[in-house]
Structures are given as C-alpha cells and as structure tokens.
Amino acid sequence: MHHAKDTASSIPHLSRIPSLPFYYGWIILFAGSIGVLASIPGQTMGVSVFTDHLMEALGLSRVGISSAYMAGTLISSLIIPYAGVLFDRYGARIVAAIASVMLSLFLLLLAFAAPLSQALSSLGLPMGIATLAVTILGFLGIRFFGQGVLTLVSRGMVAKWFGPRRGLAVGLMGVITAFGFSYAPQPLQSMINQMGWQQSLVQLAFILAFLFLPFVLLVFRPEPAVCGIEVEQGMKTLSSSKAHKVPDATVEKDLKQARGDRAFYLILASLGFWSLFNTAFTFHITSLYQEVGFDANQAVRIFLPISVVSVLARFLGSYLTDRISMKSIYAGFIASLVIASFSLFFLGSLLGDLVAILGFGVGGGMFGMLNILTWPKLYGRKHLGQISGFAMSVNVAGSAIGPWIFSVIQRFFGSYKGAGILGLIWCMLMIIMLVLTPFKPASSQGEQS
C-alpha cells in the first residue's frame, strides 16, 4: 500500500504543490466535481436519454431493456467494493484514469451493440441471447466505471483533502454536481438531435478518453500526505466558534470493524433505500405523471426546483454535520424520505408537487452529502475507500432494483401509490432502528462500544 504512494510522491512535478500560494485542496474540490459530472453517461439520467434509441436499434421491449439495465447494475454492485480497496491502495489518480478509459470503451460497446449482437448471432448464438448479453455487458461497464468508480473516487478524494472545512467543500461540490446533473439531459438530447444517438455515444467516449483522462492525470492527487503537505495546510485556523464541534473519528476503523457497529447497518439501510426510491422516481417520472393526466414535458419540469432545494439542503446539512451529531442528521434524512413517500399519494396537485420537491430535494441533497461525510466522521480517513466502496455497492444495488419494484407495484395495484406505502413502511422500520441505535465515532474512549 505504501509502496504505491511512495512512488507517486517521488514524481518530480508533485514537489511544486507545497510551494503553491494557495491550498491545492481547492483545485481537488473542482477536479472531484468534474469527476462526478464525468460519470453522467453511467448515471440513470444520462442513460435514460438513450434508452428508446437502444430499444429500437436492438429490438428490445421496455421490460427487456429494463431487465438488462437491472442485471448490469446489480452485477456492478457486487464488484464495486473492490474499487474502494483499489482506491485506498493506489489513490485517486490511477483508479480514476483507469475508470475513464474503461467507461469510454463501454460507451463504444453500447454505440455498436447492434452490429456486435449480429456478429455473435452469426457465430451460432441465438439473436435474442446475443443482444441481451451485449446490452447487459454494456450497462455493467458504464454503471460500474461511471456511476460506481468515478463517483466513489471523486467523492473520496475530496473527503481526504479536507478536515475542518470538509462540510463547506462538500456543499460547494454539491452546487456544481446538482445543477450539472439536472441540466445534463438537455445537452445530451441536443447531441442526439444533431448527430444521432450512436455518434453521440462515440463523442462522449472521445471526450472521456482525450479530454477528461489528461485532466485526471494532470490534476487528481490521492491525499495531501502524498504531496508532502498536511490537510488544509496554510489555511487560517478556524476560531473555536467555527471549528469542529463534532470532529472526525480519532481511531481508524476498517470495513470489518465498521461491520461490528450497529449504526453502520442503519446508515446502509437508509442510504440504500433512498437510492432505490429516488432512482425509481426519476426512472418512472413520465409514467408517474401520466397516471395523473400530465405529459412528459410537464413531468420533467419538477427536476429543476428539486435540484435547487437539493443544493440548499446539501449546504445546510454539510454545515450541520460539524455542529450536531450524525444521529440527528440521519433523523432529518429519514424524515425527508417520509415526506417523499407521502408525495406519491397526491402527485400532480400543487400541494403534492410541493411536497415532492421538498422531500426529494432535501433527501437528494442530504444523500449526496452523507455519502461523503459519514465515513470520516464515524470511522476515520485511512480506510475510506474500503468502507465507502461497500456502501456504494448497497446504493448501486438499490438503484438497480428500484425501477423494477415500482413497475411491479404499478402493474399489480394499477397505481404508484403502493410505492408510497412501501416507503412509509421502510421509514417506520428505520425510525425504530434509529431510536435503538447509538452513533459513536471511533475514538480511544469509544472504540470498544
């Protein structure tokens, strides 16, 4: 583990970072935000723009392509913990560079999925099986390297570069990524209109390989120690009124030790279910609004106000993590899921939409923030990749099965209101768990608790 870091720190140009007139962590904050945005082709809102085109080109039904998406995402969730281990061992730059190259290649695979399927079919494989195999492989690649590895590494890198100001850094990161994600479908749709869906995927692959990859190699750095500096070195020491009232864990815990903590399972249950619920809401947004008499254009308008509330909630949540206990933060997060669940009962009305904007906006902002801030607060920074990688696998699994669960509920009950009931039942279980579960950061006093 240390060998890789020693090698990295011996690279000559790294020696310039300590002599910079500003703290390099601010560059890392910008780079990490760009890294998360680069994952968009592997995120649900990025994939959804291409879904109908893939269905037509491959001759797949909506159920067929949804099943392929679920299968690829679930397989991705099983291997993402290994990406976290690699992040701890080799650092952000190497792992992000590999991820950008691989995401580029899998986008090309999806772009040429139809001819590849025909080529496999000509070798004797039934066309239906060949198409499904190529599609699952393509989705597995973009979900693992995009939604999984790039997001994990970019968030983890920012968390390692900040201490007392981590809450502020995560809040600023949220502004860039939240608006980037909500705006992304528009330029992607414009690309498709101008050059077709295949050429658009090829263009995205080109951007990742020839623009984003050099950026990663030039700017990404694993942590301050590799560059010969300390966390927030040279920055003004915060006054006692602004400094950490709730500091990071002082004893480092690995994944095995974290698994011995009951709070770890409550955290996974709440973050994982939010990923399930929010992804399903996004995936089925058109169908949800069609159920109450609105068209697709009216349906997608809800995402902009949600993103505005999300940014505000992320800033407030990031600020509060340094001042109140993580248990209180998670109480607020679960409350947002309660509100989001209620909104499904009267979506389409003014009150219903306002409740949805509040619930999904606050929940989304807190979800992005908690995925970065929870782990150093409770388990330290040393094994950040290992622990956040395992948590990411739970989130990805949730995002895989969420749309499928909503579609099954809609089919059997004729309405999505059953999904609201499911959300409320899960929230009740989490509230009971929250009351019974202590949240104790690893410290010399609390390590055994």
One DSSP character per residue, 258-305 reads HTT-HHHHHHHHHHHHHHHHHHHHHHTHHHHHHTTT--HHHHHTTHHH
Tens of pLDDT along 301-329?
Answer: 788 888 889 888 988 887 787 778 888 99
Domain boundary among 194, 227, 260: 227
Looking at residue 134, which CATH number applies to its domain?
1.20.1250.20
Q: Please tell me the pTM assigned to this model.
A: 0.78
| Cα separation, 30 vs 44, whole angstroms | 23
DSSP 3-state helix, strand, coil percentages of the chain (rounded to 5)?
80, 0, 20
Tens of pLDDT along 231-246?
Answer: 888 777 765 444 445 5
pLDDT of residue 410: 84
Please check whether residue 235 lies inside any domain of the structure: no
Please check whether residue 27 lies inside any domain of the structure: yes
What's the number of domains the chain is made of?
Answer: 2
| Domain housing 155 | 1-227
Please check whether residue 394 lies inside any domain of the structure: yes
Indicate whether 109 and 199 sit together in one domain. Answer: yes
For 251, half-sphere exposure in the C-beta direction (CA atoms, 13 angstrom radius) is 13
pLDDT of residue 249: 62
Tens of pLDDT along 173-216?
Answer: 888 888 788 778 778 888 988 999 999 999 999 999 999 999 99
pLDDT of residue 245: 56
pLDDT of residue 285: 78
Residue count of the chain: 449
Indicate whether 148 and 288 sit together in one domain. Answer: no
- Mean per-residue pLDDT of the chain: 85
Indicate whether 193 and 309 sit together in one domain. Answer: no
C-alpha dist (Å) from residue 428 to 248, 251, 338, 423, 434: 29, 32, 9, 9, 10
Indicate whether 160 and 251 sit together in one domain. Answer: no
Indicate whether 21 and 108 sit together in one domain. Answer: yes
Is 4 a residue whose pLDDT tops 60? Answer: no
Indicate whether 112 and 48 sit together in one domain. Answer: yes
% of the chain at pLDDT higher than 90 = 42
Indicate whether 274 and 371 sit together in one domain. Answer: yes
Domain boundary among 159, 194, 227: 227
Indicate whether 316 and 191 sit together in one domain. Answer: no
Q: Cα 111 to chain center, whole Å?
A: 24
Place of tokens 């077709």: 196
Please check whether residue 121 lies inside any domain of the structure: yes
Please check whether residue 236 lies inside any domain of the structure: no
Domain boundary among 227, 262, 284: 227
Torsion sign, CA atoms 112, 118, 120, 122: negative
Indicate whether 329 and 375 sit together in one domain. Answer: yes
Tens of pLDDT along 40-76?
Answer: 999 988 887 888 788 889 998 867 888 898 999 999 9
Please check whether residue 156 lies inside any domain of the structure: yes
Indicate whether 340 and 372 sit together in one domain. Answer: yes
Is 297 a residue whose pLDDT tops 70? Answer: no
Mean pLDDT computed over 99-110: 97
Higher pLDDT, 200 or 256: 200
Indicate whether 259 and 358 sit together in one domain. Answer: yes
C-alpha dist (Å) from residue 235 to 14, 320, 334: 20, 21, 35
Please check whether residue 71 lies inside any domain of the structure: yes
Please check whether residue 238 lies inside any domain of the structure: no
Element (H, E) at 87: helix 62-111
The tokens describing 36, both together, are: 């998360």
Indicate whether 214 and 271 sit together in one domain. Answer: no
